[in-house]
Amino acid sequence: MIVFFKYLAVMAGVTYLIRVLPFVLIRHRIQNRFVSAFLDYIPYAVLASMTVPAILYSTNSMITAAAGFSAAIVLAYREKSLIVVALCASGAVLLSQICINIMA
């Protein structure tokens, strides 16, 4: 049990340092356009890299996952709300799964 708290303390310290060091080391506004643009796009890149594999491997069939992903991309491109995109993507997965089951 004591070992667990040692590991927990180390993990908390590392997490704290990762979050605090940028504020301590960088005191002025970043003037470089490249670095600023890079830091602006990091959250979107990380979110996409975590979400896309989860979408593609969330069902038993890659075909149904691709159908839902395609529906979500089209609706998001047309600027529909998040709930509409999620519901329609889920519906596309359901319909494609039903079609696959009927054909099999």
**What are the tens digits of pLDDT across the range 45-81?**
998 899 999 998 989 899 999 999 999 999 999 999 9
Give me the sign of the Cα torsion angle 38, 41, 42, 46: negative
> Domain residue spans in the chain?
2-103
pTM over 0.75: no
Nearest-5° angle of CA 10, CA 15, CA 20? 125
Q: How far apart are CA 12 and CA 89, in angstroms?
A: 38
The separation between CA 9 and the C-alpha centre of its own chain, rounded to angstroms, equals 28
Report the percent of the chain where pLDDT is more than 90: 64
Q: How far apart are CA 84 and CA 71, in angstroms?
A: 11
DSSP summary character for residue 28: S
